[in-house]
Chain A
Amino acid sequence: MQVVHTGNRRSLENYRDLLLVLFQKEFKIRYKQKVLGYLWSIANPLANAAIYYFAFSVIMGIREENYILFLITGLFAWQWFSNAVGSSPKLFVGNSLIKKIAFPRILIPLSASLNHMVHFILSIPVIILFLAIHNAIPSVHWLWGIPVLLTIHLMMSLGLSLLFASLNLFLRDIERLVSILVHFTFYLTPILYSEDLIPPDYKNYIFLNPVAPLIISWRNLFLDGTIMPLYMLASFGYALIFFGIGYFVYNKLSWKFAEVI
């Protein structure tokens, strides 16, 4: 079996344009209703924050100071992760373009992941607003902390997207599995509660949750401008591993995509 194909060579400029145009496509669709589109996109985590605040602070009386701010700083980052990973199994399924044109399929998950990232960046002003309400201001450490965490988070969600999007073509129930997994992870990640509340015996187990160090890093950075090197390193390690696995699986399977769509 051999293929010599000069027809699908692309210039670097074409790659760039392709990524851009795929990115714009998704962006436009997401913000189709312009202002309202943006409002909707931040309404969801805010509404969640309000519900959790009501349930855990008002009703159950959790003792976390500035609980609403605590929730919001974690929830936006979580929202990015869960939206990106939760929607990833559908990225290739039903994309009939894959049957027609040979183009680097990785650009689909890449443009989707970038979209989710930009989306998150656009929600940072909301976080700043809530900080201001609580008489706090952004820290200078944001200047390096945000780019570093963005990179780690992007790499992790791209890796997982590649993995789930590819596998879901061959095993269609990956989609359901992923949604259950994301749901589990939410409660296993210190988002509603602080990691300090975890009993000492179990505390180290949070390193087994790939998302926990990342979310904790985001929240610490937003709340008081600190990043704990251990958490950052752990999340970077997980991001590398997931990207490696995701890319490997994608690379092994991508030539078969057109057969199974």
Chain B
Amino acid sequence: MREIVVSFDRVSKSYPLYKEFRGVKNVLFDLTKHLNRRSPRFEALRDISFEVYKGEKFGIIGRNGAGKSTTLGLVAGVLKPSAGRVVVNGRIFPLLTLGAGFHPELTGKENIILNGILMGLTRREVLQKIEEIIDFSELEEFIDRPIRIYSSGMLARLGFSIVAHLDPEILLIDEVLGVGDIKFQKKCQEKMMEFRTGNVTMIIVSHSVGSISTICDRVMWIENHVVRMIGDPMEVVEQYCKQAGVEFVVDGNKVQTKTSTF
């Protein structure tokens, strides 16, 4: 039996429609309405059930606004489900991107420490790994400079290098594959492949059906806030592309949409 590390059991998530609730004035005027607590909510996920096994590479695809990031938020524990049950066994390592988690005025090195500790490691543990992270990032002397001067590719390298070397248990990646130059992209791919064989569980949201189908063991397709399909990457991706009206080609072991090659 494989160990389950993430399990969603009939999970729904709705967001409050705060737009008429943002000002003090509105609250005072609509107090009765708000006290009724029956303000309309927007359902971003409805009745989602799936399981992710230890060491599995689990892909999530779907159109913009389908609910992919919401799913990752629930896994990370930053969002609470409105209904259903979420079980997560293992420490979460989100791949941080531009804006979130990095502080522009701190140096690359200081950001590594900040990020590592935010993800639950102690300072000592981060310091043990910091050389490895810096080496992998190839940022060299830039590592001692404030990251506000980094290009977005350099930031992405830093972000990936951090999560990749902190012995992640459950790695969450939200649409950030394929950043950085091609050489670094290749390095990332290799590292991902290394994770493939290891015990690292990965949940990957990506619009690149090519990478999804090479990296993942299983793929979930979310459509209009519900699960449309879960299963073999090739099959799910094929259906997804067909539905989106995008032609895709199977070239040996690789899947590519015709449009994704520019």
Contact = CB atoms under 8 A, between A and B. Distances in A.
Interface of A: 1-11, 13-14, 17-18, 20-22, 25, 28-29, 32, 96-103, 170-174, 177, 255, 257-260
A10 B87 CA distance: 17
Contact of B23 (A4, A7, A11, A172): A172
User: Lowest 9 A-B CB distances belong to which pairs?
Assistant: A102-B77, A258-B78, A96-B100, A17-B123, A2-B85, A4-B87, A7-B92, A13-B122, A5-B77
A5 B62 CA distance: 26
Contacts of B1: none
Given A28-B105, A98-B78, A6 B88 contact: yes
B106 A25 contact: yes
Interface in B14-45: 15-16, 18, 21-25, 27
Contacts of A4: 85-88
Interface of B: 15-16, 18, 21-25, 27, 73, 76-92, 94, 96, 99-101, 103, 105-106, 110, 113-114, 117-124, 169-170
A258 B90 contact: no
A22 B119 CA distance: 13
Contacts of B118: 18, 97, 101, 103
A7 B91 contact: yes
A100 B96 contact: yes
A95 B78 CA distance: 13
B26 to A, nearest CB: 9
Contact of B80 (A1, A10, A103): A1
A143 to B, nearest CB: 33
Contacts of A29: 103, 105-106
B173 to A, nearest CB: 12
Given A7-B77, A99-B73, A101-B118, A21 B21 contact: no
A71 to B, nearest CB: 33
A81 B93 CA distance: 37
B24 A1 contact: no
Given A1-B84, A4-B85, A259-B79, 10 more contacts: A3-B80, A3-B88, A6-B88, A6-B90, A7-B170, A10-B120, A14-B117, A22-B114, A99-B78, A101-B76
B123 A8 contact: no
A173 B22 CA distance: 8
Contacts of B82: 1
Nearest to A98: B78
Given A2-B86, A4-B86, A258-B73, A25 B114 contact: yes
A170 B17 CA distance: 11
Given A4-B86, A7-B88, A17-B117, A100 B81 contact: no
A91 B87 CA distance: 30
A260 B18 contact: yes
B18 A97 contact: no
A102 B169 CA distance: 15
Nearest to B25: A173
A245 B10 CA distance: 36
Nearest to B83: A1
A7 B78 contact: no
A100 B100 CA distance: 7
B78 A6 contact: no
A97 B122 contact: no
A110 to B, nearest CB: 15
Nearest to B174: A100
Contacts of B101: 96-97, 100-101
A14 B170 contact: no
29 contacts: A1-B80, A1-B85, A3-B86, A5-B77, A5-B87, A6-B89, A7-B91, A8-B120, A13-B122, A14-B117, A17-B123, A18-B117, A21-B114, A25-B110, A25-B114, A28-B110, A96-B100, A96-B101, A100-B78, A100-B94, A100-B96, A100-B100, A100-B101, A101-B76, A102-B92, A173-B24, A258-B73, A258-B78, A259-B16
